[in-house]
Structure 1
């Protein structure tokens, strides 16, 4: 009786295992080792459909995504680090894919925001896998450890997506594992049936006497059989890959180099093309496509001055390009991102160019925010191995970046008598600025009755951008704002003279009865050493950005 009960239970267990293994092998998985969601309809009122990091929280399997537009529009599908995707979609209406129920349905929820548009996704360089174009687009990405997101959207980044998507997870040896489970189930079913159907042979009296002996150990035959079956199941699972289960993610924060060598080369090439075209036409809108911040402000001011003082455009400089750029590419885990490039200049053999590039968000282009042109003889800090300066790094320097900027402003305000002179190594750029200031003050002091006071003040503008180099020096980019004011005596009219750069903002015909004012923007690149060393001014760049009076 016990044998039959055990046989029934074993057969029932085998049937369940066989059904589960068969369904998994022949319906869910298939010979390609991939579990598919089946083609599902996905749409968004916003501009994209993106998964949350929790949806891809196990690494190891291969993610397969097939997407086609329901409206025959070009589509994009890609995988990116969560901080890149979050920055790209920040503030824009989109749909979050929060759950995938294989192989039945996809669950979504809307995220409110603006209507965009977004930058065309295929043009962005931070995707780890992507496909874009008309018709069906597919990617196969081995899921990596860490927070990653899948994004589906129209290729133009401007219109709401309406797609048919099939998501699949490929697990190595999954089909063989399911097949082995199916076979084990069949074996268990067969063993259970045998236990039920096979008759037990009659036992002789002697055997019955031995069996009933109180000293003889009892060992039910079914127990040994079950143990052997369990052992066979475990062995089969191990041999067919059951142990290769996707592992939970352990990496919670991702970082990456700000830009690849190929991406930097493309950005620099585009900058050369656009800046040369903008300079030729003195086009303030065009240059805004490759520059930003104080650098853009200086360039646009230069174009304005050139249009006023050089109406025939005979003094427009010829084109120049970066020659053999060297890169300093730090690693970041968020935005903004920056990198530094130094290069020769094709039109100026005795000079080199030092650029600070910045990308504010994942959807923004790379723009030059700071640019100076040191002489070729100036030794620049090494760029390879560059990384953002931390507070701990700054504590070991001769001065923190902000303190160095304020000290430089104090030096220029007080001249050679400043208490900050000792912090800086001798610099032709500082000497040039101080000489210009001294000459201006001397000229104005010759007529004290007309000019009552001259006020010239340098202040640190914004927050310096600083990086630690492998030499231990910090490479610092900063801006100083110079506010100039000359006050006149009573009953005197004053104006900016013809040909002065300030006259591009306030023509000589515009007279003032109290004072003239101007704003000059100065950009500097500094090499700040460790404690005990002197700060080197690598180069400076400046121009008038505003002028007038009252």
Structure 2
């Protein structure tokens, strides 16, 4: 004798729960799409179609031996480069003194050791377009050893006219320095800083479009859920 068992019938999901699921899914999609689109739009506004954020030219000066600023500690630059292209920091500075001007990027601990006991100005905040600096003075002796004689710089340039530095950003903690080429105090220069992300515009444009599509689809789901709820309430 053979006994057969019929599977129990599937219990349909109640309509109110389906409508609630549609509404929740649509809300999440709308929020995520909106956030992605907003972030992409902000990058496009900042970097433009050229993929560069430029400070514009401005005069900077210090009565001390150097202007020093921290470069944000970077991690997984290769991962960033895979999306935006290799990030490059460019700095140009004009020389107004007889010794010429020096610009350099070095490991933070090496720069700190080099300028230990030397008076310099540390840039604590800045704004771009136009370039404005907030600085805090560090006390010490007037002059530093010539920066070009140091071997720890990962990128540097010295010129009697315009020193141009291009540094492919690397993982780690670095500092950016502008000085007279002989390390003497009293620097006045016209400087310009630019950060380049070659693929920032096409990637951000794609995210902007994708975020807009996702948000639109989410809104559509919410509208469907609300419409069904209203129909159910009238029947």
Q: Report the TM-score when normalising by structure 2.
A: 0.62
Contact 2:95 2:159 in 1 (8 A): no
1:180 aligned to 191, 206, 217, which one? 206
CA displacement at 1:94 relative to structure 2? 0.8
1:115 lines up with 2:153 in the alignment: no
Q: C-alpha distance in 2, partners of 1:198/1:146?
A: 50
Q: Which runs of 5+ in 2 are unaligned?
A: 1-18, 78-85
The 1:17/1:46 distance shift into structure 2, 3 A limit, reads: same
Query: 2-side partners of 1:126 and 1:201: how far apart?
Result: 67
CA RMSD of aligned residues (A): 4.1
Corresponding residue number in structure 1 for 2:115? 89
Higher relative contact order (CA 8 A, sep 6+): 2
1:20 to 28, 34, 39: 39
Q: How does 1:294-333 map to 2 (within 5 A)?
A: none
TM-score by length of 1: 0.30
> What does the per-residue CA deviation read over 1:226-279, in whole Å, with 9 as the maximum and x for residues that have no partner?
xxxxxxxxxxxxxxxxxxxxxxxxxxxxxxxxxxxxxxxxxxxxxxxxxxxxxx
Q: Which of these two proteins has the greater Rg computed from alpha carbons?
A: 1
What SS does the aligned partner of 1:66 have? Answer: strand
What CA distance in whole angstroms lies between the structure 2 residues aligned with 1:114 and 1:199? 72
Alignment of 1:109-258 (within 5 A): 109-116=136-143, 118-171=144-197, 173-192=199-218, 194-195=220-221
Deviation per CA, 1:331-388, whole angstroms, max 9, x where unpaired?
Answer: xxxxxxxxxxxxxxxxxxxxxxxxxxxxxxxxxxxxxxxxxxxxxxxxxxxxxxxxxx
When residues 172 and 7 of structure 1 are mapped into structure 2, their CA distance, relative to the original with a 3 A threshold, is same
The Cα of 1:110 is off from its aligned counterpart by: 0.9
Counterpart CA distance in 2 for 1:163 and 1:170 is 22
* Count of residues paired in the alignment: 199
The answer for unaligned runs of 5 or more in structure 1 is 203-207, 209-550
Indicate the residue corresponding to 1:51 in structure 2.
Answer: 69
SS in 1 for 2:217: helix
Provide the rounded CA distance (Å) in 2 between the counterparts of 1:9 and 1:19. 15
